[in-house]
Amino acid sequence: MFSVLVVVLVLLSPSLVSSDEHSHRYTDGEEVVLWMNTISPYHNRQETYRYFSLPFCRGPRHDISHHHETLAEDLQGIELEYSGIDITFKNNIEKMVYCQVTVNDVVLKAFTYAIRNQYSYQMYIDDLPIWGIVGEFTPEGDDDNKKESEVFIYTHKKFDIGYNNDQVRVY
């Protein structure tokens, strides 16, 4: 009798889960998580590092209601990290500063190396991938006569997140 009850509860348990990023359906005001994945050089996509291995800053929020991990992510070695940015379904967030980084020599060298090697990053909202580049540089001179180039880091990220009924759409 007990084993029949356990089987019935296990079969019914997926229907008790109402909404989240696993079902890709949300209710108004529900948490939508921005996951940071990896950074990697453009010319070698097999070489990947954790997003926060570069001195990017995290958002002010430190905890979430759940952790996202699927069997496929585990097999692929994907280790998503929480961004710390508080996003809720169907709620606008005005432009804001959510963190600051003090740039010292170590931070400057890390970002300069990543930019010169054309590092890009990947993140996810509701399993939808988002890619971007860390920054850009302006090479000056030819290969024989290299001059110092200017390096620009992209310090702003703008997300246009829409919805269709109870599902997220990223533009």
- Domain positions in the chain are 2-170
pLDDT digits (tens, 9 = 90+) for 114-152: 999 999 999 988 888 889 999 999 876 555 555 667 899
Concatenated DSSP letters of the chain: -HHHHHHHHHHHHHHH---BTTTTB--TT-EE-EEEEEEEETT-TT--EEGGGS-PPPPS----S-----HHHHHHT---EE----EETT--------------HHHHHHHHHHHHTTEEEEEEETTEEEEEESEEEE--S-SSS--PPEEEE-------EEEETTEEEE-
pLDDT number for residue 10: 42
pLDDT number for residue 79: 73
Residues of the chain with pLDDT under 50: 2, 4-19
pLDDT number for residue 116: 92
